[in-house]
Amino acid sequence: SVESEIPDGVTLGQGGATTDSAGVVTVDFSGLSPLMNDDARRRLGAQLMWSLTAVPRVAGLVVTSNGLPFSLPGANANGVLELSGLQGYQVLSRVSTSDLFGIRYGIAGRLAGPSVFERLPGVARALGDLAVSIDGTTAALLDETRSQLSIGPIAGDIAPVDTGLINMSTPQFALGSVWVLGDDAEGKQHLFTIDRNRNVHSVRLDVGVNQRVRAFAVSPTQSRVALILENQEGTRLAMSSILTGGGALGETHVLPVSALNGALLTDFNAVTWYAETSVAVVATGGTGSRSVFTVQLDGSLLEEIGPIFGEIEELAGMSRLGGGSLAVRTDTGLVWRYEARTRWTRVAENITAIAFAA
């Protein structure tokens, strides 16, 4: 049987279903509860979107309740759940495996099991960082100087992409595009995306004067960016929306994250997405040492899932509904992987960078 995600008692409203010239379908319902939680809204949006994929020219979805806006997780700034965002829903609900990749002695490979390193074919140059697409077929690679980004099929030709940036970091995939942070020749930070056709697009990044982005993580639905901001006073966790078209970030909001004892987390070092409405961070809590925490996007429901023996230098994540997979790399090159059932398991050593297929 097929389970409907439309709640009992909800019917098509007076506005019915209409499609505009841009291919955006607006569906008006009567009886939707404003108290519906994010998970129920996500499932409602996913079911409607899957149904609409069979209709030619459909580009996105807007849901209204008696003619009034009804927000769906992952919608853009105009309230449109774009068809491209369907992959983001699929990422969170249907992915059953989460391969972890890494770099050892400048070589990229798959961390296939405890101390098992499977070298990736066709990648010969010395590398400093990497990202892998969710299907595990495409890689984005930074060379060890972090001045050259190359993208292409893992089993084929991985070719350089000219970004004009140096000191590049944090490459990551989101809905098929590669995001990367770097500096220009004058030391100013820039955020770029590279689409499937290898076109480079600048994303306007404005985090204020005398402040830099230490790390960032794009949500699976490419609707938000989690940021770690750094200035002379230290580091802070912040959140920003991705504006329509992806050409700029919206206003940045700092999240004051407090431990149970009321002390604020400090010394944020890394961030990744953990679930649809939560991120994982590496930060210092009340104990005075770095650990791994998960926290909701409003700064609530903080939970410590570390600590790890050793100084944590890198955090990687694979977001899933209810919480996904995490991995950390320590300053000595040890990699530990976290799953809710097994907690932390040591999986590799002598590793200098890690990334999930995401």
**What pLDDT digit, counting tens, does each position of 273-316 carry?**
998 789 999 999 877 788 999 998 888 889 999 878 889 999 99
| DSSP H stretches of helix in 223-309 | none
Residue 83 located in a structural domain: no
Beta strands across the sheet bearing 278-284: 266-275, 278-284, 290-296, 303-304
Q: Are residues 110 and 24 in the same domain?
A: no
The percent of residues in the chain predicted with pLDDT above 90, rounded, is: 50
165 and 299 together in one domain: yes
What pLDDT does 118 receive? Answer: 92
Domain co-membership, 141 together with 49: no
Domain extent for 112: 94-356
What is the per-residue pLDDT across 102-136, written as a single tens digit (0 to 9) for each? 999 999 999 988 889 999 887 767 999 999 987 78
- Prediction pTM value: 0.75
Q: Cβ(24)–Cβ(64) under 8 Å?
A: no
Q: Does 319 fall in a domain?
A: yes
Domain end position, chosen among 72, 105, 121: 72
Q: Please check whether residues 168 and 248 belong to one and the same domain.
A: yes
- pLDDT-derived band at 86 (thresholds 50, 70, 90) equals low
First to last CA, the chain: 31
Please check whether residues 285 and 233 belong to one and the same domain: yes
Asked if 101 contacts 110 with a C-beta cutoff of 8 angstroms, the reply is yes
Higher-pLDDT residue of 181 and 17 is: 181
Do both 246 and 312 map to the same domain?
A: yes
Same domain, 105 and 252: yes
CATH number reported for the structural domain that contains residue 116 in this entry: 2.120.10.30
In terms of domains, do 66 and 162 share one? no
CA–CA distance, 96 with 69 (Å, rounded to integer): 34
Edge-to-edge strand ranges of the sheet holding 312-318 = 312-318, 325-330, 335-339, 343-348
User: Considering only CA atoms, which of 280, 356, 343 is closest in space to residue 312?
Assistant: 280
Same domain, residue pair 37 and 179: no
- Note the pLDDT of residue 94: 43
Residue 5 domain-assigned (yes or no)? no
Residue 79 lies in a domain: no
* More confidently predicted of 192 and 298: 192
Same domain, 122 and 198: yes
Q: How confident is the model at residue 180 (pLDDT cuts 50, 70, 90)?
A: very high
Whether residue 6 lies inside any domain: the answer is no
Q: What is the pLDDT of residue 323?
A: 80
Residue 89 Cα distances to 47, 53, 56, 183, angstroms: 10, 14, 21, 32
Q: 115 and 61 in one domain? A: no
Strand, helix or coil for residue 246: helix
- Residue 330 is predicted with a pLDDT of 96
pLDDT digits (tens, 9 = 90+) for 341-352: 778 999 999 999
Q: Which of the listed residues 72, 102, 120 is the one where a domain comes to its end? A: 72
Flag whether 191 is in a domain: yes
The pLDDT score that the predictor gives to residue 21 is 84
d(CA 218, CA 59): 22
Distance CA 53, CA 270 (A): 36
Tally of domains in the chain: 2
